[in-house]
Amino acid sequence: MSATLTMRCSGARNMISEYEKFLSSKRIVAEKTGVEIPREQISPVLYDFQRDLTRWALRRGKAALFEDCGLGKTLQQLEWARHVGGKVLIVAPLTVNEQTIKEGIKLNLEVKNVRDKSEIIPGVNITNYEMIRHFVDADLDGIVLDESSILKSVDGATKKILLEHFTHIPFRICCTATPCPNDIAEIANHSEFLGIMKRQEMLASFFVHDEDGWRLRGHARIPFYRWLASWAMAMKSPADLGYDASKFKLPELRIHDVIIPTEWRREGNLFPGGLHGIGDRVNIRKQSVKDRVKEAARIANEADGQVIIWCGLNDESVSVSKAIEGSENLQGSDSHERKKSVIGRFLSGELRGLVTKAKIAGFGMNFQCAHTMIFMGMGDSYEMYYQCIRRQYRFGQKKPVDAYIVVTDHEIEIVDNVRRKEVEAETLSREIISAAREYEMEELGKIQHQESIECGECSGEDWKLYQGDSCEELKKLPDNSIDLSIFSPPFLALYTYSATERDLGNCRNDKDFFEHFKFIIDGILRVTKPGRLCCVHSAQTATTLTTHGVIGMKDFRGMLCEQFVKRGWIYQGEVCIDKDPQAQAIRTHSKGLLFVQLKKDASWLRPAMADYILVFRKPGENQIPIHPDINNEEWIEWARPIWYGIRESDTLNKAEARSEEDDRHVCPLQLGTIERVIRLWSNPGETVLSPFAGIGSEGYVAIQQGRKFIGIELKPLYARTAARNIRSAVDQKTIQGGLFAVS
């Protein structure tokens, strides 16, 4: 008896089958809605990677450039806007406009600063996020969100305006630094603005919610990053995508913690720290302004070259600007003209020091003219800290950058918290780049997409197991060769058991599910003998507020019946299998089954969901009569419309088939159910098929009951487990045969 799993891989085909075309349509990727621009038409001012990314964004039509600071996002968005043509509006943070206008000169492109929609002209226009309400209903062909991560920081009203009034524009692009893959809000904001996918749809497709909040599903990692790469390019260096990075080297970044001792202690505390809430933080910052200003002024006055001082309080900025010779204080209340003037004087070297706040000049500006910065205290936002650092520490900076963090001894815990976030963000952003790299390279045409799945065969006495795609593996079976099929298809549940599109469960909606299932239904019909049966295990499925927008039920059983009949089967009947509502409530925590809901509001209560065995017959006359090996009493019991006595725990061991990526336990069919089906509708020695073999439950029972078995399983871990379980059934049968053999 052979039980070796012989591995093979699916090879490339010259002809693309209908099934393969369908698989391509299942892949969750963004739709291309843009224009194809020849590479030679992209300005030679741009580096090779900038030209390719700009062409890609134009081809996509709606795209995001998640590039680290200094990689030239401004030039790319301007070149993108030039090729979009018509009227394009760039929306940027405060103080960035003039810098963008100057970058346009490099491309011989005029960029007009506008304050409302009446000022928009054909070509490239620019305004600030604070002015966006004046552009509602503007006639635009394209829109650019510069430093688009600011959507997390701006007020909800601005974000709401962008999402409600600017998502109809044909061409849209977002530009910002690399987001963290666990920052669901940032990715969702970009996806929703670009019209790629709504937040709720994104969560339902790729994420699962548990006690720690939303997290990426284990098996959704590859599909998620492939989806992300179809509309967003993430990179920290041109080398990340295979380009020359010799001109993009960062100098040293030196962080200096400057701790100011204080005498204040919270009542009952011997040591500094333990601040309670915003009140304590504001109080300690106000009390220490004089000492922190003195230290910051000393550092600034002794520094080599220009200095930026990042403040949080007005008292800090006013005092420190007076204490630093040749500095100006830039405030939010200043006019646009003064902001333009102060920043211009600093960039030209006329001013030695610039005192301001992160929300004023911390996003989008290029202050490589300076290489020293001072933080007058620290907030909890890593994003603000990162953006401020990156105004000087960015590609193109030639000198080491010194950042001084001037805080009181009470605020060390805040600094440590931001540092922890910094390490996490760096690790995670590298992860997103690494994970998406292959798909981004494919998007850029630098590599070709190649897909292969692990396949194999395992066989023994009276059984054979194919590891692979049921739609493909069924083609190997002869016509009219199967006596009975019994299986439980994977229900519609994205990335629950695997990542591949070949998994029937990985469908976004009912239409795709049954479009996929038809290939299997047709395959089983072909291989089944005329007049013989196919028994499908099913259950009704629950709808959720997150995925479907309503808490209720879906008639999955009815949809299965409809599809099988549509594909040529005859619906012969069904068996309802009794279920324990309390056990189901414990397992699913369904609102409709809980005792608390019984007392709270019974309008939400519903019966437990039963299992069903749907019985379908292939047209034609059965050539070999079936003589079930059951007695009359058993037939009376099994002929009932409801089967009782099926123990829910009567299954094979599922623990050994669980992998780290699984977010849900495999749910093998009860052995008692399989036994009844096999004994009722097949003869000993006949062949039983399961196109979704799972961990081998149907094969295990088939062998035990003296039948032959053919199984197909896509997931390698399940297939290996199934082979062991079926082999175990063979061994048990051999032992039993030996015990009762006649000597």
Question: Residue 52 has what pLDDT?
Answer: 95
Which residues share a beta bridge with 176? 66
Cβ-proximal residues to 471 (8 Å cutoff; 6+ apart), any chain: 19, 502, 516, 519, 520, 523
**Domains in the chain, ordered, with CATH?**
25-241 (3.40.50.10810), 253-411 (3.40.50.300), 454-537+549-576+611-739 (3.40.50.150)
Question: Residue 278 has what pLDDT?
Answer: 66
Taking Cα atoms as reference points, which of 501, 555, 352, 393 lies closest to residue 69?
Answer: 393
Give the DSSP H or E segment for 317. helix 314-323
CA distance 729 to 693: 15
| Amino acid sitting at position 499 | A
Residue located via tokens 């028994």: 535
Residue 173 CA: distances (Å) to CA of 143, 441, 444, 496, 676: 7, 19, 17, 33, 59
CA distance 620 to 618: 6
The DSSP code for 220 is G
| Amino acid sitting at position 105 | I
Taking Cα atoms as reference points, which of 413, 421, 415, 381 lies closest to residue 266?
Answer: 413
Half-sphere exposure of 548 (CA within 13 A, CB side): 13
Give the DSSP H or E segment for 506. none
Residue 412 contacts residue 284 (beta carbons within 8 Å): no
Question: Residue 273 has what pLDDT?
Answer: 58
The DSSP code for 120 is -
Give the DSSP H or E segment for 89. strand 87-92
Question: Residue 658 has what pLDDT?
Answer: 58
CA distance 14 to 69: 44
CA distance 263 to 380: 23
CA distance 709 to 287: 80
Half-sphere exposure of 519 (CA within 13 A, CB side): 21
Sign of the alpha-carbon dihedral angle for 59, 60, 64, 66? negative
- Tokens describing residue 700: 């295990």
Question: Residue 13 has what pLDDT?
Answer: 44
Question: Residue 272 has what pLDDT?
Answer: 57
- Tokens describing residue 398: 């030639």
What tens digit of pLDDT does each residue of 604-642 get?
A: 778 878 899 999 999 999 999 999 988 899 899 999 999
| Amino acid sitting at position 345 | R
Strands (E), 232-282: 232-235, 253-260
SS3 316: helix
Residues in the chain with pLDDT values less than 50: 1-3, 8-14, 270, 740-743
CB atoms within 10 A of CB 407: 22
CA distance 673 to 675: 5
User: pTM above 0.85?
Assistant: no
Residue located via tokens 């082979």: 723
Residue 373 contacts residue 401 (beta carbons within 8 Å): yes
Estimate the crossing angle of helix 156-165 against helix 184-193, to 10 degrees. 40
Question: Residue 552 has what pLDDT?
Answer: 81
Cβ-proximal residues to 367 (8 Å cutoff; 6+ apart), any chain: 308, 346, 347, 354, 361, 391, 392
Taking Cα atoms as reference points, which of 422, 362, 367, 372 lies closest to residue 400?
Answer: 372
Question: Residue 271 has what pLDDT?
Answer: 55
Question: Residue 2 has what pLDDT?
Answer: 40
Residue located via tokens 């305006």: 161
Which residues share a beta bridge with 232? 64
